[in-house]
Structure 1
Amino acid sequence: MPARERPRRRFLWFGSFALAVLAGIVFALGSLRLAFIRPASSEGTVLLYFLSTLVFFSFLVLGFVLIRSLLRVYAERQRLVLGAKFKTKMVVGALALSLLPAIALFLVSYALVNRSLAKWFPRPLEVVRDDARALAQHLIGEGERRAFELARTLAEDPSLRPTLEHRAFAQAQAFLPRWIERYEVAWAALSTESGELIAAARRPGVTADFRSPLRDANLASAPNKRVFTQFIGDHNFHFSLAPVQAPSGRLVATAIVAVAMPLEMQAKIHEIEAESQNYEALAAERKTYNWQALLMLLFITVLVLYAATWAALYLSKQVTVPIQALALATEEVSRGNFDYRVETPAQDELGTLVASFNRMTSELGESRRQLEASRQRLEQAVTEVEQRRKLMEAILESIPTGVLTLNQDRIVVNSNPTAARLGAQGGATDVGLAEWFGNQDLGLLTTLLDRAARLGAASGELELRFRQRVAQLAVTVSALRTDGREEGFVVVLDDLTELLRAQKAAAWQEVAQRIAHEIKNPLTPIQLSADRIRRYLERQARAGPAEQEESARLIGDCATQIALEVNGLKTLVDEFSRFARFPAARLAPARLNQIVESTLASYRSAPNGVTIRRELDPTIPEMQLDTDLMRRALANLLDNALEALNGAAAKEIVVRTRHLTPLPAVELSVADSGAGIPAEAKSRVFLPFYSTKPEGMGLGLAIVERIVNEHSGAIRVEDNELSGTRFVIELPTRAAAPL
């Protein structure tokens, strides 16, 4: 704030405060009629008029300041001072909003005041006042007449007059209490001609001092009759005096009687008198009230206009002064002076704006210094990102594994060279999986995608034909998620054709060794039995009858042994032939729960102690299944579970089906509470001719896996929750042809 404006602002504040105080005093004295500040003398009235005159001259000062402010705003607008238009709009708007209501309020209020004053002092009210006073005087006169009658009765009492004539004052004193009790008066007395009391008595309970009023009345001046009313203590009493004459006609005393006015009548008379006096005082000041009301309304009108103008000027300065400073600062910043600061004080949002501008200029200077460093860091970061991108591309191009990137709609958006060599469309993008792989059956791959969407990752093996060759691929699918939302998939394709060929060769080598071992075992007893038969036949020619009989028995035993071993070889060959000639699945609509129920029906006579519990999901829809093959697979799993329960403490088998919503797949699991499968054997349990049991052939689980593959499903083995083993089969619910 400029130094030259501070004294003027102090003067305006002090003048406004003093004017408000003076106006409040004038209003309280002239309109509110507060008893504790009402002028009670001519000096107070002079002070009231002095204050009114001071308020009037204050109006003149305010009017001068108001006109001066308006002229100053007009001059600034003519000089095109920055912010003058805004200041003019604020002042005009404030006056427009306050002028019409203020004038209307003044006219309406002044009319209401005049109308109210006319209603306060109507002619009928004066008539009522006079009648009320006359009625009060009549009541007082009636009381005085009664007092006079009682005083005359006392003065004319026949027993009292002789007593007073003979100056027997003691007898008169004894007579008065009886007379008071008889006529129910407050006080009675007898006095001499000079006014000296010779006898007096009062009614019980009356404590007023009646001597002072009698002295003031000067009894000696009215020897014949006198009546008056006097307020004593808290009561009004009617006094009456009557002369007491002796039978001879001589005046011997004066009888005095005091009768109490009823309290209710006394209160009403006092109230009538007080209100009449108040009304007369108000009527005498009617013109004064009219002038004071006019002055107060003028004051309020001018004060409202001045306050509106001053508030508009004050508010406009709160905006225009910081804006002028900001405009100057903007010019400095445009010249490149980022060290310039706005020193003009501002409040509220403008203060925030000024502080933000100063902070902005300092930050601009700092930003200019940091800009070059940031640019260098950005170039370095871009270079590093480009290097990492090239390194990643080099890695993807050099690895022998194919990598596909799919979006959430399962459209190929990117692929590395290895994957491009496997695809039918080369390195094409924005195509579906079926088109990318040459419209081959991708039921298992679709199942893996569904499983990855649910579990996050899934893997399996897929057989596809690429450019006149059949490839065995290990497929791993990983779901890409951002904040829990699925963004796409990464599919890793690993060509396992050569590896599987080597594994198959090793597996068939192991199968050959196993078959050779199985064949070699029965050949030894066959050879021994044949040698024994040959030796016995050589000795048969020179043997006796007894030895021939023994030879026949021995030949029969050897022939039986040879037949048993040959049957064992035949069984081995039959099992191997059935596995090699496994029929293809014939899919048809079927209910998985019905297949489970029909299979479990044959296991109702389970060994003692074994409990088979089923938990079937009723929401599983109809599927494309080979009923016979699925029964065979489930029966193999149940047989293995029953064998695993041998020697177990708790013997329980749980068969469970579950609909994997929202994926198009179901889950069939068989869990037992047996000893379980060792970890190192879990990866080989589905190989042909591999068994953890000495008497097993090792083909049951291999057949189950092949049946599941025929249905485009997957099977896995895992540990049960508490103990034992759990085999889990996942099958797609949609129709799918076998791979």
Structure 2
Amino acid sequence: MASDLNRAAGALDQDKTKFTTFLTAQAALRSIPMALLIDENGKLITAAQTKRQIPMQPPPKEAFEAVKEGQPVIMTLGGQAQIRSLLKLDEFDGVYLYTAKKVDPQIVEHLAKTDIAMREYNSLESQRFEAQLTFALIYIGIALVLLLAAIWFGLGLANGLASPIGQLIVASKRVSSGKLDTRVDIDGSDEDINRLGHTFNQMTEQLSKQRKDLIDARDDLSRRHNFTEMVLTGISSGVIGLDEDGKINHANLLAQDICGVNEFNMVGRPIDEVLPAFSNLLIVADSKISRAVEIELKDDDGNRRVLLVRVAKGRAGKEKNYVITFEDVTNLISAQRTAAWADIARRIAHEIKNPLTPIQLSAERLRSKYEDEVSSDPEIFKQCTETIIRQVGDIGRMVDEFSSFARMPSVVFKNFDIRDAVSQTVFLQRVAHPEIEYIFECEEDGEMPINADSRLISQALTNILKNGAESIYRNQERVESKIVVTLRQEEEVISIDVADTGIGLPDINREALLEPYITTREQGTGLGLAIVKKVMTDHGGEITLGNAPWVRDGRSGAQITLSFPSIKREKVGHSKVEEVI
């Protein structure tokens, strides 16, 4: 109907009566008892002329507002059993089609309910986003609550499982840092966790016990090692340990001293490389013949040492090892030789001395009685008798030296100032050899007490000074005749250095000069230095043969050093005769 009216919009402006007839026809065609054209204020413009008239009631303002959007507005009047509609006509300016029609009250009621339902639906439709948002928020909230509850439950369950594991981890770290007394508490309800904790505690307890056993074993081995080291250090034998390949794995201090090599340069090296003289000892050990072997070593100065060597073989598991023990018997052999020479000297002195006296007396008697009566070659007679007497005197002095060597007096120890004894001895030699310059130097200002036999020390020093003087006389190329005696003290040792400008000592095998009857002089007996060595041995001292300090300048000379153990300084008597030279 609205479409038809829009098409006939021009007729309303040209002929209002004709248009009203057209509107009436349209209303009759559709059985609409009321069809009106009104403006937006509800004022009537024209109306259809129908038989069944319905009282006009202007539509509410809300209907005008709603119909402007282009959609018809349907209104039901339940009390009057009417349906009214309002629609804007697009071809008219501000004109609205307003119709009304009576219907069955039930239809109206259904329409009203439908309208209410529609309104509710629209209301709900307009609130759908809010409802969806509300439901979404509720869902999210419930989901979060469930999630938090699940997390809380999971954390509780995980904590129940992880807490004992964490304690085990912390305990393991403590154990790894060395705290083996660490234990974990076993108070959970999980049987597996309890078993794991119990096993961990058993493990740490065993580790603690094993560590204690290892520490005890280490301490025991350390004590045994220290004891062994003390034994090896304290014994008078050199000890060298070898492995199966003959390489050195241990050497005590005495072995290092005898061999002249420190342990750092010995360990790990083959024995035949360090000590070639010991190369055949392993063959002796493998031959199962246990016997001592004498081996002779020479140092860089040509001095020889005699070693009494024994070798033993053992096993450490499957590996063989060897232990070489050796003693320096050089002094023992020297002492035995000295004792043998002393016995020989005593016998020679006894056998020779008996006929010397009658020979000398007979020669002197022949000279005194027949010197004037011999007319044939009296000079030859005199020369022969004097030669006999002189040679008997020389033999007598030699026998006296033999006797002195064979019957060395016992040492009588007493405390005295060694400066007096040295000063007096030097003074006597200076008087005996005025052509030689004797210089006595003492590095100490105070007393130098010593516990020794002053007579034997003077005798030993006299022998050295005599040898020095004789060496100077034999040196035809000497620039000066000088003997320097230096007395010095270092810690607990008092040393006497005697240096001369003589021909010096041989470069090779000097120590042999300390043996009896070994000499470099044509008419020497070889007993002077032997007596000195015997005196030093009886006093627990040492004698050292070397070169004089000026040998470095190209000159010749020897230096002999006597070393004695000193005593604490105390007041000792001084000799009334003392000369500072």
Q: TM-score, normalised by structure 1?
A: 0.30
Larger radius of gyration: 2
Higher helix proportion:
1
